[in-house]
Amino acid sequence: MSLNPLKRSFDTMMAMLKVKELSEDAIMTTDSPSQSFMSTDSGAMDINNENDLKYSGRDVHRLSSSHLGTQSTQHVNTFIVDQHGSHDSTSTTGQTLNTFQYFADLPSKVRLLIWSFAAPAARTRFLELHTYNTIDHTPRLRYIPPLPPLFSTNQEARSFSIAHEGGEIVTFTSSTFTDLLSFHGRKIGEPEDEEEEEKGFYFNFNLDIIWLSVRFTAACNTTETLRLTTLSSILPPTTLSRIRRLLISYSGIDSYALIGPLLRPYSHLTTLYLCMNDERVRENVKTLLMKGIPAKGAMGDKLRSMIEQAEAEETDDEEESEENEKERLAVRQWRRVLEVDTKLGE
C-alpha cells in the first residue's frame, strides 16, 4: 500500500482536528483560575480580566469504549483521500465522507503521535457537581471548559488524553453510582459490553477545581455545609485529602457553625472559594446581594473565622500519624478562604 494516500490523509486529519480544537479551546487560554474569578474585596487576589469569555458548559455523556486498536476508524472525524491523491472531501458519488479507513491499521506509535498532535495543553478545569439525586445518590458533572474531544473518541485516545492531561480517574464510594465519565450512546448506568464499568470521573488534583454550585440539588436550596457533607460521603477519604481547591456557592441560609469540622479530611486544601454570584441562588438572596447585603468580603471573613474557630477547638486524632498531622497543619497555615465572583457563565 502506497504511503502517499496515508500521508495526505494524515495531513487532512490533523488540519481538521486542530480546527475542532480551536473552537473548543477558545474558552480558557491559561491554566490560571484567576481568569475565571473576580475578587469581591480589595486585595484578595490578583485578577487578569483579559479573557472575559463565557461558556455554557456541557454535561457529560458516555464515552465510547472501543478496545485498543479495534474499530478506531468508526470514531475518527476525518476525510478519506482518494487513490488519485485528491484532497477533495467528497467521493465520486458527490457524498461527503467522514472516515479514514486505514487508521486502525496504523502502528500504535503512529496513532499515539496523531493523538499527541490533536491533544491540547493541560489546563485548569472547573468540575461542577450538580443535580444530586437523593434516590440513587447520583450527581451529574459539568466540565468548564469541556474535556477535549479525544476523551470521547475511543478508548485509546481517552487513555492517552488522561495521561497527557496529567489527571486520573477518581472513583466514588458507592457501587450504586451511575458512570459519570459517560459520553454518547447509551442510557446512564447501562452496562457496556455486558460488563459493568467502574464508576468514576476524570480529575487533575494539581489543576482542577471542584465546584459545589447552588444547583447541587434540583431544588437549589442546600446550604454550603450540606453540600460539603454530601461531598464527603460520596468520595473516599483518600480522595478528599488530595483536593487542593474547592469552589462552593453562597446560599444565604448557612450560619457556617458546623462547617469547620467537615473540612478536616481535606488535609491538602489550599484554597476555599466562596462564590457570591451564582445565578441560580434564590431570588430574595440575589436581591439582597444587589443591595450590598451582606457587605462585600463579609461572608468570606465569617466563613474563615468559623473554620479557624472550629480548628482551634479540635482534638488530636489518635489514628493520624505524626507526619500526616504536621503536613496537614503546615498546609493549614497558608490556606486561603476567598470570597469571589465567577465568570463561568451558564
Q: What is the pLDDT of residues 201-216, one digit of tens each?
A: 999 999 999 999 999 9
Asked if the model's pLDDT at residue 24 lies above 90, the reply is no
As a whole number of Å, the CA-based R_g of the chain is 23
In a domain, 322, yes or no: yes
- Gap between the terminal Cα atoms of the chain: 50
8-state DSSP, 323: H
- Work out the number of other CB atoms within 10 angstroms of the CB of residue 85: 10
Domain count, the chain: 1
In a domain, 18, yes or no: no
C-alpha–C-alpha distance, residues 109 and 329, integer Å: 46
For the packed helices 108-118 and 3-25, what is the interaxial angle rounded to 10 degrees? Answer: 30
210: phi then psi, degrees, rounded to nearest 5: -80, 135
In a domain, 92, yes or no: no
In a domain, 73, yes or no: no
Percentage of the chain lying above the pLDDT 90 cut: 51
The region of weakest confidence among 82-96, 149-163, 231-245, 285-299 is 82-96
In a domain, 19, yes or no: no
In a domain, 95, yes or no: no
In a domain, 91, yes or no: no
Question: Domain range spanning residue 318?
Answer: 35-68+107-342
Residue 115 pLDDT level (bands cut at 50, 70, 90): very high
**Nearest one of 161, 165, 157 to 204, comparing CA atoms:** 165
In a domain, 84, yes or no: no
Q: Is the Cα dihedral 63, 15, 31, 116 positive or negative? A: positive
State residue 59's pLDDT score.
38
Interval 83-104: pLDDT, tens = 333 444 444 555 666 777 888 8
State residue 55's pLDDT score.
33
State residue 2's pLDDT score.
52
The region of weakest confidence among 79-83, 110-114, 149-153 is 79-83
State residue 77's pLDDT score.
35
Higher pLDDT pick, 147 / 52: 147
